[in-house]
Amino acid sequence: MTLAIFDLDNTLLGGDSDYLWGQFLVEKGVVDGESYERKNQRYYEEYKRGELDIFKFLQFSLQPLSEHDPDTLDSWHREFMQAKVRPLISDASRKLIASHAERGDTLLIITATNQFVTAPIARELGITNLLATTPEQVDGRYTGRVEGIPCYQDGKVKRLHVWMDEHGYNLDGSWFYSDSHNDLALLQEVSHPVAVDPDDSLRETAMRNGWPVISLHNNSPVEA
């Protein structure tokens, strides 16, 4: 079966769930507001520039998970979904997912954002296959550390190839939708790379290579 692979943040979602989770924690008073918000913003800007140290960021972003019990975290996440995430899911995103499902493609989300944040979002979108950065758990609680390879930049490619080997897939005829130049390594591997509301760097690459450029979050899709 053909793989239809989707980035999540700023692709299927009209915003960044990792950044917004941090903002949500600030608004809840769970973290030190001024300091946490300043660091959250700094890491987000580094990500957009392609300069993010993923391990430093994960040390920062996973720490709050280790400080609270799973029931409390799950309760907060339900609030987060309602307040922050569902408004970011456009009809166009749902239609794109449905169009691949109707063709019989296997749907897969691949995202740098950690699995705690993203698993409920994948379920909301009706996508059962998810590759995300994995927060380590011991005895049912998060430790604040990352498990395995972070699902970021070339880590996405590595994680995807392991998943394909385990599940019997390949990239023949595959699709990948992304907004970010951070995903260039994977975009170059698939049969059908598609830039979605891309950053300036990815837009230039897409135009140069003749890749489609579409919008899921504006009224008028644009074509390369």
Which of 157, 199, 162 is closest to 176 using CA atoms?
157
Is residue 184 within 8 A of residue 16, CB to CB? The reply is no
**9: annotated active-site residue:** yes
The residues near 195 (Cβ < 8 Å, ≥ 6 apart) are: 178, 179, 187, 202, 203, 205, 206, 211, 212, 213, 214, 224
- What is the secondary structure of 137-186 as a DSSP string? EETTEEEEEEESS-SSTHHHHHHHHHHHHHHT---TT-EEEES-GGGHHH
* 7 in active site: yes
CA–CA distance, 217 with 66 (Å, rounded to integer): 34
What is the rounded distance in angstroms from the CA atom of residue 152 to the CA atom of residue 70? 25
Catalytic residues: 7, 9
